[in-house]
Amino acid sequence: MDGAPAETASDVLPGTSAANGAAYQPGYEVVAEQILKLIAERQLQPGDRMPTEHELAALLGTSRTVVREAVKILSAIGRVRAQKGRGLYVANDEGMLSSSRWGGFFMPTDLDQIFMLFEFRRVQETAASRLAATRATPAELRAIKDAMELCREGHETGRNALFEQGDDAFHLGIAGASHNPFLVVAVREARRLQRQSNTIGMHGGLGDHARDALAEHAAIYGAIRDGDPDAAAEAASVHLDKTLEDYRREIQRRVFGSGSPETR
């Protein structure tokens, strides 16, 4: 992760290196996942006070430095709120798909939740692509194409943040071109949840698919540009299905190692 602090050997938790068959995962990402699990297991609700950094370090068997970096990640994605002088609290996330509205915390290592999220995205984004093929204005088409090229530049220069910026703009640009504000909100919220799995436990794990995603983006854009709603919906569906498979494989590697269980 860009800008992440250097870690000592003691800061990287057991089972996170490539030596045991799993992809490398920094200790602060592992701890971030463990904090989310702790919140869920204790059934803490938005606004509830959490254990202190010192208590979390003792509970999770790691250092306060690693806990502090994990908390920064969770604060950035809206799951934890740190109040100076008062401690840590479960964040009150008021998004459309917030935990308080849909009955539980999104766990980036839970395969069922990942599957349901992509199932939701598939419904919304195929519909958005289909509508965009008949409603996109020339300006909207240019914006979608520019976002696609931003992804390409990010991939070719190895700048992950630039790729992610372009990817976000690409998918939200298509949603905007549907001219349906409900779809825009749905796509934005689903991608917000996806970023949690990108930030925790998935960082750097999808490089191979980034290359394929460029061709998949081009297919979606080409169908929208050509005014072919069926082709646009099909291309969007293919893109999301392939991305889901990469997420599923990467999570299995990180959580279960090479002997991953059978999945649906």
| Domain boundaries defined on the chain | 9-90, 106-256
Same topology between domain 9-90 and domain 106-256:
no
| Percent over 70 (pLDDT), the chain | 73
Look at residue 112 and tell me whether its pLDDT is greater than 50: yes
Spell out the alpha helix ranges (H) of 160-228.
160-177, 181-199, 207-225
Let me know the angle formed at the C-alpha of 233 by 227 and 237, rounded to the nearest 5 degrees.
Answer: 150
In 3D space, the residue among 104, 110, 98 whose CA is nearest the CA of residue 190 turns out to be 98
Tell whether the model's pLDDT for residue 11 goes beyond 50: no
pLDDT more than 90, % of the chain? 40
| Alpha-helical segments (H) within the chain | 27-41, 53-60, 64-76, 99-102, 111-135, 138-157, 160-177, 181-199, 207-225, 229-256
Q: Is pLDDT above 60 for 18?
A: no
Quote the pLDDT of residue 197. 63
Residue 138 one-letter amino acid: P
pLDDT band (50, 70, 90) for residue 132: very high
CATH 2.40.50.320, applies to 106-256 = no
Instruction: Answer for the pair 29, 35: CB distance below 8 angstroms, yes or no.
Output: no
d(CA 151, CA 211): 10
Say what the pLDDT of residue 240 is: 93
CA distance 196 to 200: 6
Q: Which fold has domain 9-90?
A: Arc Repressor Mutant, subunit A (1.10.10)
Q: Mean pLDDT over all residues of the chain?
A: 79
